[in-house]
Amino acid sequence: MTATTTSAEIFVGLGALTPDDVLAVARRDARVTIGDDALAAMAESRAIVDSLAASDRPHYGVSTGFGALASTYIAFEDRARLQRSLVRSHAAGSGAEMDREVVRALMLLRLSTLATGRTGARPIVAQTYADILNAGITPVVGEYGSLGCSGDLAPLSHCALVAMGEGDARTADGTLVPAATALAAAGITPLDLREKEGLALINGTDGMLGMLLMAIRDLTALVATADLAVALTIEGLRGTDTVFAADLQDLRPHPGQAVSAANIRAVLDGSGLISTRSTMPFTRVQDAYSLRCAPQVHGAVRDTLDHAALVAGRELASAIDNPVVTLDGRLESNGNFHGAPVAYVLDFLAIAVADLASISERRTDRMLDVSRSHGLNAFLAADPGIDSGHMIAQYTQAGIVSELKRLANPASVDSIPSSAMQEDHVSMGWSAAVKLRRAVDGLTRVLAIELLSACRAIDMRTAVSDDAPSPVARSVIAVLRDRVAGPGGDRHLSPEIAETVALVRSGALLDAARDTAARAGRSID
């Protein structure tokens, strides 16, 4: 049985979870059920671990210490205590509390690896994780504590600690309580870990992978939103759409570029503000790079997302632990917990995010500059001089873009040796994931400000011209105007930015654009 998504339930079996499965549990509280095939596989591999636990031979994680202490032999009577001690000592996180969706994804992905039967954990361990998820209990996990190698150790340890009935957790309504209280209220018996199980619960790339999956989903919508934003900006600036012709894109056959150009054409279809269709004279031979080259930049982001999705899919199909129980029954150490594959694409996406935001900010600045906006009021102000219009909104964009450039500095090029040089090269993938989440939020805000300004520019054009914007632009402006008033004298601008950010984050503006384009036989992908 493979993992499949229903409207309210995710089945975790021997097949790989899908990104939709992970997001359903992390963001929509879908229930988790473990398949019989997974339970059988776990019981089979557990029998192997039990046989090794009865042996006098040292086996890493069963009868030895961990990391640099791997050469320390553990007596029979101390091996259960070894697992509890491991979890308690490794639950050493610090810093701001991670978002609920991150922790839920973290736990589900660890559960998915347990369900492969390759970790040697008992079925009850996986079932306890499923019960915690289904009860809406969220372990408190700090921002710091993972080096992205030997797994996301501290974050996963805090989850395992809660399964043991220790540490702190939040209930389904967000109340902070001791873990024992949360488990008791949900009727969940705390785990009494046995040989190897503590190690099985903390050795994985689950946190960085969960954050990668969420970033891919969010950025897929945001790059389409960026296509929408540039098209509306082109209308506001009375630019040209000829450069987006399909045959011109075909001369450079990057797939993402073709999609972005098609999206821009779909938004601009039927616009009377485009210079090649307008009744007004046109003297510009070509638009600036931030307009003309949008498909090339946006398309490169799309292609980067496709590569990231490929890596994420491979990671979803992985069974990451150390040591692992092999299919032929061996217990073997390995290096599959190293987060480099995930860390690299997390950093790659942060670079793409910074550049996508940068080109958006340049377009906004062009609309505000009277020397480059082709007839718009300075700063889109109703009465320039008395009013400042969107002057400082661009400052906000610039501040965010500057931070995004700092966040684009890759975490994965850094490595700080740990565990007395036993773990002498680490991925920093968790750090790459955390900064990417911040970058995605920043991009959302930058695109929202461009859309807010572009809609204002279009409204200002149509107030003094008989030329009408495209049907898609009209539908997007209508949705925005339900929340944000049209051009006028200066108002408190921050709430208007916040409303637009909310519309971008919810997808409402993009949905309006897609619905209108679909009625005209076009699509926005």
> Of the candidates 147, 175, 204, which is a domain's last residue?
204
- CB count within 10 Å of CB 348 equals 20
CATH number for the domain harbouring residue 153: 1.10.275.10
> Of the candidates 147, 169, 204, which is a domain's last residue?
204
Nearest to 479 by CA among 458, 499, 450: 499
Both 235 and 346 in one domain: the answer is: yes
The total of structural domains in the chain comes to 2
Nearest to 296 by CA among 235, 359, 354, 346: 359
Check if 60 is active-site: yes
Please give the full DSSP string across 401-447, using - where no structure is assigned.
HHHHHHHTS-STT----BTTTTB-----HHHHHHHHHHHHHHHHHHH
Nearest to 456 by CA among 224, 227, 222, 229: 229
Both 455 and 478 in one domain: the answer is: yes
- Kindly state whether residue 413 falls inside one of the protein's structural domains: yes
Nearest to 444 by CA among 362, 361, 365, 504: 504
Q: Among residues 60, 73, 144, 289, which one is catalytic?
A: 60
Both 263 and 286 in one domain: the answer is: yes
- Kindly state whether residue 1 falls inside one of the protein's structural domains: no
Instruction: Report whether 32 contacts 10 (CB < 8 A).
Output: yes
Both 392 and 422 in one domain: the answer is: yes
**Separation between Cα atoms, residue 270 and residue 30, nearest integer Å:** 42
* Dihedral pair phi/psi, residue 297, rounded to 5°: -75, -50
The H or E element that residue 112 is part of is: helix 100-114
* Dihedral pair phi/psi, residue 31, rounded to 5°: -75, 155
Identity of the residue numbered 190: P
Query: What is the pLDDT at residue 64?
Result: 72
> Of the candidates 148, 170, 204, which is a domain's last residue?
204
Both 338 and 448 in one domain: the answer is: yes
Q: Which two tokens stand for residue 1?
A: 């049985």
Query: What is the pLDDT at residue 68?
Result: 60
Both 271 and 176 in one domain: the answer is: no
- Kindly state whether residue 524 falls inside one of the protein's structural domains: no
Q: Which two tokens stand for residue 226?
A: 């960026």
Predicted TM-score of the model (pTM): 0.94
**Separation between Cα atoms, residue 222 and residue 490, nearest integer Å:** 29
- Kindly state whether residue 4 falls inside one of the protein's structural domains: no
Instruction: Report whether 105 contacts 213 (CB < 8 A).
Output: yes
Q: Could you tell me how far CA 204 lies from the centroid of its own chain?
A: 18
Both 238 and 169 in one domain: the answer is: no
Both 161 and 240 in one domain: the answer is: no
Task: Tell me the three-class secondary structure of 217-257, residue by residue.
Answer: HHHHHHHHHHHHHHHHHHHHCCCCCHHHCHHHHHCCCCHHH
How far from 160 is each of 46, 146, 200, 338, 444, CA to CA, in Å? 18, 15, 10, 20, 34
Instruction: Report whether 110 contacts 159 (CB < 8 A).
Output: yes
Query: What is the pLDDT at residue 215?
Result: 98
Nearest to 134 by CA among 158, 107, 116, 152: 107
Both 317 and 215 in one domain: the answer is: yes
Instruction: Report whether 332 contacts 324 (CB < 8 A).
Output: yes
Both 240 and 306 in one domain: the answer is: yes
Domain that holds residue 134: 9-204
Both 384 and 350 in one domain: the answer is: yes
Query: What is the pLDDT at residue 72?
Result: 72
Instruction: Report whether 376 contacts 236 (CB < 8 A).
Output: yes
CATH number for the domain harbouring residue 421: 1.20.200.10
Query: What is the pLDDT at residue 436?
Result: 98
Vertex 234: Cα angle to 229 and 235 (nearest 5): 100
Both 300 and 377 in one domain: the answer is: yes
How far from 472 is each of 246, 435, 453, 463, 513, CA to CA, in Å? 20, 34, 16, 18, 5
Nearest to 162 by CA among 142, 148, 182: 182
- CB count within 10 Å of CB 504 equals 26
- Kindly state whether residue 432 falls inside one of the protein's structural domains: yes
- Kindly state whether residue 309 falls inside one of the protein's structural domains: yes
Query: What is the pLDDT at residue 58?
Result: 77
Encode the chain (525 residues) as per-residue pLDDT tens digits: 344 444 579 999 999 899 999 999 999 999 999 999 999 999 999 999 998 887 777 777 777 766 666 667 777 777 778 899 999 999 999 999 999 999 999 999 999 999 999 999 999 999 999 999 999 999 999 999 999 888 899 999 999 999 999 999 999 999 999 999 999 999 999 999 999 999 999 999 999 999 999 999 999 999 999 999 999 999 999 999 999 999 999 999 999 999 999 999 999 999 999 976 655 555 567 899 999 999 999 999 999 999 999 999 999 999 999 889 999 989 898 988 999 999 999 999 999 999 999 999 999 999 999 999 999 999 999 999 999 999 999 999 999 999 999 999 999 999 888 877 778 888 999 999 999 999 999 999 999 999 999 999 999 999 999 999 999 999 999 999 999 999 999 999 999 999 999 999 999 999 999 999 999 999 999
